[in-house]
Amino acid sequence: MEMIYLDQAAGSFPKAPGVASAVCDCLEHGSSNINRSSHILSIRSELQVMAVREALADLFGCAGCEWILFTPGATQSINLILRGSLRPGDHVIISGMEHNAVFRTVVDLEKRGVSFSVVPCDCAGRLDLSAARSLFRPETRLVMMTHASNVSGTILDLPAMGELCQAQGVSFAVDAAQTAGHIPVSLGTLRADAICFAGHKGLMGPQGIGGIALSPGFARQLSPLITGGTGSASDSPEMPDTLPDRFEAGTSNLPGILGLGAALSFVRSVGLDALRSHEIALTARFLNALNGCPHIRLPGPKRAEDRVGVISVDFLRRDNGEVAAALEQNYGILTRCGLHCAPLAHHSLETFPQGTVRFSLGWFTSEEDISAAAAAVLALA
C-alpha cells in the first residue's frame, strides 16, 4: 500500500529538494563553529550562515540579517519572546486559537506575576476584534497570536490586530509556525515586532531549526533566555549588546541552518504565489468532496482562501482516534488525531474534548492524494 502523508502541519515530508544534500555536505565536507575561530572552515561557515540569515530577512521583511535569530524551533522562539519581554506586573493578550507553545508559556508566566487575557474566537476560529479592543489595559505590554490555526487552518486577521496594537502602543508578536512558507508573513504588513517561525513545516527544512525575525526597537527591549559563549566581547561577563550574538549563546545548529538555506532557495524558486495556489486548490477540493456529509463536522472557514492547508474532521458517529488508526491501516493515509497541542483552539472550535482527525497538506501533496483521502473519510464516516 502506498503511503499518503497528510501530516504536513506537524512536519513537512518529503523535504525540499537539496535539503538532505546540504545537511550531508555540511557534515561530510567540513564545517566549523561560526564566530569563533579565524580559519578557513569557520569563515566559510560564517558566510554560509549569513546568506541564510539574508534569505530569511528577505522573506520576513526584516530590516537586516542581524535581526534574524536562530533557535531550535517555534516553541523556543515563542518562549524567548514571552519570557524575554514580560516582567512581573505586565499583561499580555493572546487569542483563543493558540498552540500550547504560547498558552502553556503564559500560564507558567502567570505564576511569576504576569497576567494574560484571551481574545475569544468563534467556532470557525475567527478573532472577535471588538472583544480584543476591550482587553487592552495600561499594563498591557505585548499581544502574541498565531497567524493560522494548526487545528482548523483558519488564518487570523492579524493585519487588523497589528493595527490595533500600533494604535495602543503595544508590541505585537506573531506565531508563524503554520504560515511561513504558505502565505506572505511580513513584519511590515502585519505591523509586527517579532515573527516566530519553524524551519521544518511549510518552509520544508529539517527539524531542529527555527528562529525569529525582530524589529530593531523590540529587540532592544528583549532579554536573552540563554547566556554563554558567543565568540564576541569575551572579556565581558555580560552578554554582548550586538545582535544576533546577544540571543545565540552556544554552538549553532549548522547542519540545520544550511539545510534550511537549501529549503529557502527551493521555496523562492517555486514562489509563494504558486505554493499558495496549490494549497488553495487542494483545500477546496477536499472541502468540496466532504461538504454535505451529515456524519462529520468540519470546523473552520468554509472558503479555502481563508485557511492554510489544514483541515480538521470531527467524526460524529465514530471515535476520532479509531478513525485515524483505520485511515493508516486500511488506506495508508497518515494524519494526526487528538487535541494537536492546542486545547484552547479545540475549545473555540467546539471540538473539545473529543478532538479531531487533522489532514494537512503541502507542496508535494497531489490531487489524487486528496481524492483518496476524501473517499476514505466518506467511507469511514
Give the catalytic positions in this structure: 341
Q: Three-class SS of residue 154?
A: strand
| Min CB(269)–ligand PLP separation in Å | 24
Question: For ligand PLP, which stretch binds (CB under 6 A), given 33-41, 70-78, 111-119, 281-289?
Answer: 70-78
The yes or no reply on residue 358 touching ligand PLP (CB under 6 A) is no
Determine contact, residues 50/65, Cβ cutoff 8 Å.
yes
The yes or no reply on residue 198 touching ligand PLP (CB under 6 A) is yes
Determine contact, residues 223/84, Cβ cutoff 8 Å.
yes
Nearer to ligand PLP, 146 or 312 (CB): 146
| Min CB(253)–ligand PLP separation in Å | 13
| Min CB(198)–ligand PLP separation in Å | 3
**DSSP letter assigned to residue 316:** S
Nearer to ligand PLP, 230 or 335 (CB): 335
| Min CB(106)–ligand PLP separation in Å | 13
Question: For ligand PLP, which stretch binds (CB under 6 A), given 83-91, 105-113, 170-178, 317-325?
Answer: 170-178
The yes or no reply on residue 71 touching ligand PLP (CB under 6 A) is no
Count residues binding ligand PLP (CB under 6 A): 12
The yes or no reply on residue 99 touching ligand PLP (CB under 6 A) is yes
The yes or no reply on residue 373 touching ligand PLP (CB under 6 A) is no
Determine contact, residues 118/95, Cβ cutoff 8 Å.
yes
Which of 80, 81, 93, 101 is close enough to bind ligand PLP by CB under 6 A? Answer: 101
Backbone angles phi, psi at 233, to 5 degrees: 45, 40
- For the chain, the first-to-last Cα distance in angstroms comes to 21
Backbone angles phi, psi at 174, to 5 degrees: -120, 135
In sequence order, which ranges of the chain are alpha helices (DSSP H)?
Answer: 19-28, 40-59, 74-85, 100-110, 129-134, 158-168, 187-190, 216-221, 254-270, 272-290, 320-331, 343-349, 367-380
The yes or no reply on residue 175 touching ligand PLP (CB under 6 A) is yes
Which of 16, 74, 180, 287 is close enough to bind ligand PLP by CB under 6 A? Answer: 74
| Nearest Cα residue to 306 out of 98, 177, 128, 153 | 153
| Min CB(251)–ligand PLP separation in Å | 19
User: Among residue numbers 224 through 263, which ones bind ligand PLP (CB under 6 A)?
Assistant: none
Cell representation of residue 144: 502574541
**DSSP letter assigned to residue 183:** S
| Min CB(75)–ligand PLP separation in Å | 3
Sequential DSSP letters for 109-135: HHTTT-EEEEE-B-TT--B-HHHHHHT
User: Among residue numbers 200 through 229, which ones bind ligand PLP (CB under 6 A)?
Assistant: 210
Cell representation of residue 5: 502523508
Cα 185 to Cα 101: distance, rounded to the nearest angstrom: 19
Cα 151 to Cα 170: distance, rounded to the nearest angstrom: 28
Q: Identify the sign of the CA torsion 208, 205, 341, 107.
A: positive
Nearer to ligand PLP, 48 or 77 (CB): 77
Nearer to ligand PLP, 26 or 198 (CB): 198
Determine contact, residues 114/88, Cβ cutoff 8 Å.
yes
User: Among residue numbers 120 through 149, which ones bind ligand PLP (CB under 6 A)?
Assistant: 146
The yes or no reply on residue 178 touching ligand PLP (CB under 6 A) is yes
Nearer to ligand PLP, 150 or 348 (CB): 150
The residues binding ligand PLP (CB under 6 A) are 73-75, 99, 101, 146, 150, 175, 177-178, 198, 210
